[in-house]
Amino acid sequence: MTRVAGCELCELSAPTVVDNDKFAVILVDDANYPGFARVIWKDHVREVSDLVDADRLLLNDAVYKLELAVREVMQPLKVNVASLGNVVPHLHWHVIPRYADDAHFPAPVWAQAQRTTDEVVLVARRALVPQLAEAIARRFASR
């Protein structure tokens, strides 16, 4: 497995919900976006097209399962799925539940905020994160 010294995703220190020899799934600790998760490919590659077909299909299936778990538990209006890698050029997918009242909607979460989400709403969404972790683990346990 190729690792690059200094790459924050090669040296992943975040707690994982799913961890195998090919990829990890993490929940991002973002107070404004509870349920934000990532699938991180363990081998240091930049693009999906760098993967052999079997690995590409495995990664796609992981993103799919993660999106299903996010939809099931978080009940978002929309799920954003993005693979950017502009800042960290290590293959990873962001899976982000989106709501009409979130700070950036309808723009990407990386854009300028347009509002502040009510703290009561965020607290309720944060309370779902343990259930989300369980749903993710359950989806990845079943083959």
CATH number for the domain harbouring residue 49: 3.30.428.10
What's residue 83's pLDDT? 95
User: Is 37 within the bounds of a domain?
Assistant: yes
Mean pLDDT by 10 residues, the chain (143 residues): 86 91 96 97 95 98 98 98 91 97 95 96 98 97 75
Cα–Cα nearest to 32, from 86, 88, 111 = 111
Q: Is 67 part of a structural domain of the chain? A: yes
Residue 42 falls within a domain, yes or no?
A: yes
What domain range includes position 37?
A: 16-141
| Of the candidates 33, 16, 8, 4, the residue with the CA atom closest to the CA atom of residue 87 | 8
1 found inside a domain:
no
Distance CA 12, CA 73 (A): 25
Structural domain count of the chain: 1
- What's residue 143's pLDDT? 60
Residue 4 falls within a domain, yes or no? no
Please report the beta strands in the chain, taking only residues with DSSP state E, as ranges in sequence order.
Answer: 16-19, 23-27, 37-41, 78-82, 92-98
| Predicted local distance difference test score (pLDDT) of residue 86 | 86
